Chain A
């Protein structure tokens, strides 16, 4: 009897010992950063996101008995290319987590694969709310922003300032459609109306035709439901065609720091935008961003800052859980609040949404800017519980059960 008890104690201790030492598959944590590294979204994510992931790994330090490796790949904004890369990464290279993946159409394809293969997917670059809605997955966490937050931030602010009739110029794929839909909902909720919309192919150079249609609609606000160089070209040409001078307002629903940098303040001044992060907010954000700038040669966009925050939180969770098995890590990540330069008291909901404060910003006039990258004036903080779709309204099947 006593021997049996002893034996049970011994095996219990052995089990505990085993759990305390991290059980890392393949003795390596492999982080696969995949995004657009050559096309229109390469500056807002691209190599900068890879660099941010590397910084997170370095800042995290050592993991007992396992190495940490960062891989990167270009998905060229094509769902088929992205799917193939992710399958190869997981099946052949033993990658544990997929990170970033801007371009919603690609992210939606990836989330199906990581669900099937039971791997973690940390989304920073993609925007569509479907990732935490119909397409939500137990191992997908949507970190930085989404189309709902952009609609609530910029959309509501514009309507409240009198812009109550809208015309949308929309990128013709998953992201654009979702952003238009979410914004249109907010506009109608606030008592405004939507007069029409036009859809353009991804990566368009000439927007004059669409702008002319928007002008002809007589809407007070022209909402740009697109991103990257599509947005910058549209804004530049709206300026050229005298659209803003004639009294119509441009609403750049998704605009990154890299876009403002490319446009120059002369053209971009006065635009209102929603962002999850701005480098010049406090000592903490400045400190990290300057380190990033030294390595990447540009100040971070919210996507790149979000990649760092997500990867660091992920690695800390592995350490705490003592395992790199997806369900255990995700459970640990959801149980721990996110506290770093990017988010204060951020929480990860059961639908995979990381809830944190967003900011409404206005692009400075050239004479208000003190130098390179001094672009935003933060108008107000949008608290996390207002910025993101309330859990009760979520269409995620796992939530409604």
Chain B
């Protein structure tokens, strides 16, 4: 425990004093503030003289501001924070020759990697929490509304999901920093995987769906084909952590959103209820809708940490 705590403290200090953390923090904070501020201004205009809808406070997070809503922005930029915190965690120590020094101290070897993970996760938590709290302040001053207990619960869950999502990328970049000796390689590999999983999986899903169930735009296509096509597309795009996360986050932050699937693939009863009932979902029901998403996200994150841990523990420590 002794070693873990000392490494944790040093890593945390390193993160907070590094320029790259300051830069990425400034970027994310700035974008978030601008987004929620413009969202808040829109809301104030559109709610003028209208009966106050439920969950006004959450609208700060799910209403598109300048371009995207805050939830969407975090799903785009969040991974960058995780990557920045982890891509050179181990191979920098290896390159500067301090890794041997570290592991020749009387500490267990896993203290090194656990300390780095924990410091990274703590940094992520502090970053997200401070941003959400500032937006809280915006809500109070701009809209003059106080969040209800359910809204706070939803925000806490949103925070937890976001922490897991960004930690996933911390785990990925850390895994690369363990397996690649070169810092530039591990940074590039992390960014490449991030871009691939976030932006190219959906293109791949389109191609795959069109191959398996071709939908002819001009000619005649059976409704079954269309549904099959949409279903394949949906399933495949769930391989992207970004899709997984943004679906889960938008359901939890927006009680009016009742399902993650598109209108085409819904059953008739589902369609009926979606068009008939305009009441918000209760928190419990929102969680039920995204339960599979949550499990998948947590599982992938833990798996990533586990693999990094194993690879690091079994690696030869040679300079």
A and B associate? no
